[in-house]
Amino acid sequence: MYKYDTTIVKILDMTHCYTYTIRMKKKLTITVDEKIYAGLHRVIGRRKISQFIEALVGPHVLQKDLESGYREMAEDEVREKEAFEWAEATVTDVANETR
């Protein structure tokens, strides 16, 4: 079964079913200052700039289900531990402040 509009492709053979997600890409031409262009090539590297920009811009332009986003963050135990430690330190700092 091929479904390009839903970006899911299932390929069946005699023994296995393979499921792949295909993300359609669009080409975008942007204009940036030559120093930014040089910095992108120097710091990010050739053939990696698109992924860098996509990762940077994506969270700002894509709608994400808040509930699933919060659930995903809560499952990240390292992040939750760091957030808890930060919150506890903040409460301690505020408790010692003069009013």
pTM above 0.85, yes or no: no
Run of H or E including 2? strand 2-3
Calculate mean pLDDT across residues 37-44: 94
Say what percent of the chain tops pLDDT 90. 23
pLDDT recorded at residue 60: 78
Residues 6+ apart with CB under 8 A from 69: none
Domain boundaries, the chain: 64-99
- 99 or 35, greater pLDDT: 35
- Tell me, what DSSP letter sits at residue 21? E
Calculate mean pLDDT across residues 38-43: 95
Residues 6+ apart with CB under 8 A from 35: none
